A = this chain, B = another copy of it.
Amino acid sequence: MTQVRPMRADARRNYERLLKVAAEVFAEHGENASLDDIAKRAGVGSGTLYRHFPNRRALLEAAYTDRMEALAARAGELAEHLPPGEALMEWLNELCAGTIQVRGLKSLLGSAVTDGGSAAVTACGASIKGAAARLVEAAQHEGALRADVEPVDVLRLAHGVVSASELADGQGRHIRRYLSLLMEGLRG
């Protein structure tokens, strides 16, 4: 999957700048920020942007891969220090909080758990799903979670909690409450 030939130096420079700027702009203005504006702020023509990232989603994904991976890694830490049920709850809480804070992350997490979407399951989407699966299964094994829900259901419902919370205030003050309501239902 690595390039046969390494990227040209200028290409690599631009690629990196775009990634950095995109992360900032998406976080500030949300996932619908102007791509031309991102290109401009990166000191690059729009053609260059579209060559590196064929569409908005591709750029969004590339810009937030690291955050997604961090979130996935966080699941492991929590699993070590907390009982399965609490670990799941805490992880979902951090996931939702991150989703609200970093505008633009939401649709990315959403598309990671979409069925009929683009066939290509992105790497970071897989990480998140893997992390969720481990936490969910551990919780189920311990009886802290009903057996008839799948990890992907949990992720989707967490996404739903974020949506619900956004209606309330946009700062995520209701996340914890809505999430514990949800967990109550998931407990069985």
Query: With an 8 A cutoff between CB atoms, is A143 at the interface?
Result: no
Hey, which chain B residues are within 8 Å of A170, CB to CB? 116
Q: Does A147 contact B (CB under 8 A)?
A: no
Q: Which residue of B lies closest to A148 (CB)?
A: B177
Query: With A and B bound together, what is the CA distance between A114 and B165 in angstroms?
Result: 10
Of listed A160, A161, A170, A184, residue having the most chain B CB within 10 A: A160
Q: Which of B110, B178, B185 touches A160 (beta carbons < 8 Å)?
A: B178
CA distance A28 to B79 in the complex (A): 45
Distance to closest chain B CB from A59 (angstroms): 20
**What is the bound-complex CA distance between A159 and B157, given in angstroms?**
11
Instruction: State whether A156 and B149 are in contact (beta carbons under 8 Å apart), knowing that A169-B116, A184-B185, A185-B182 are contacts in the complex.
Output: no
A-B contact pairs, 8 of them (CB 8 A): A156-B168, A156-B178, A160-B160, A160-B162, A182-B182, A183-B185, A184-B184, A184-B188
